[in-house]
Amino acid sequence: MPPGHRMIAKHAYAGVFLVTDGDGRRVIGQLRDNVPGIDNPGRIGPFGGAVQPHETPRDAAWRELVEEETNLRLGPEKLRLYASDLAWRPLTGEWEHRHIFLAPLSPHELAALEVYEGRGWATIAQAQDPRLIDSYRPLIATLLENMSTARADGT
């Protein structure tokens, strides 16, 4: 991150990727609406949104996932911080501090998952998926690699 990044980033974002458990572990993201005037139309990214001044990043990620964007019912303690970084938002021409969380999802919860914002959910099978938002590729590549290693180790 650039020196003084906290001063550069005027806004904070909190997002959540869902990770299914069991043998068929998958990473699930939100398929964004495909309309002009929004960040990354038609692409896949985390469920999430802006961190409000009174919120922690975890609280914001939980609010977006549970209260606004899906029918999931889980406590904020289930969200595990995966990464914090700084990303450029071409739409607004600003740097944004991102907090990305992972949340567990059972096969039963995935089968019943309803998404209230965007066009639904999508499985992210590889970091090169052309629908994946470009700035998430390094995070997803590392996550998928870690998941593959864990499967090979039996963990």
Residue 55 burial (10 A CB sphere; 0-12, 13-18, 19+)? middle
User: Could you report the per-residue pLDDT of 87-123, keeping only the tens digit for each?
Assistant: 988 888 899 999 999 999 998 999 999 999 999 999 9
Whether 114 maps to a domain, the answer reads: yes
Domain residues for the domain of 49 are: 5-150
Whether 155 maps to a domain, the answer reads: no
Q: Is the pLDDT of residue 6 over 70?
A: no
Please tell me the total count of domains within the chain: 1
CATH of the domain at 104: 3.90.79.10
- DSSP characters for 111-150? HT--B-STTEEEEE--TT-TTB-GGGHHHHHHHHHHHHHH
pTM: 0.90
Contact 29, 44 (CB under 8 A): yes
Whether 43 maps to a domain, the answer reads: yes
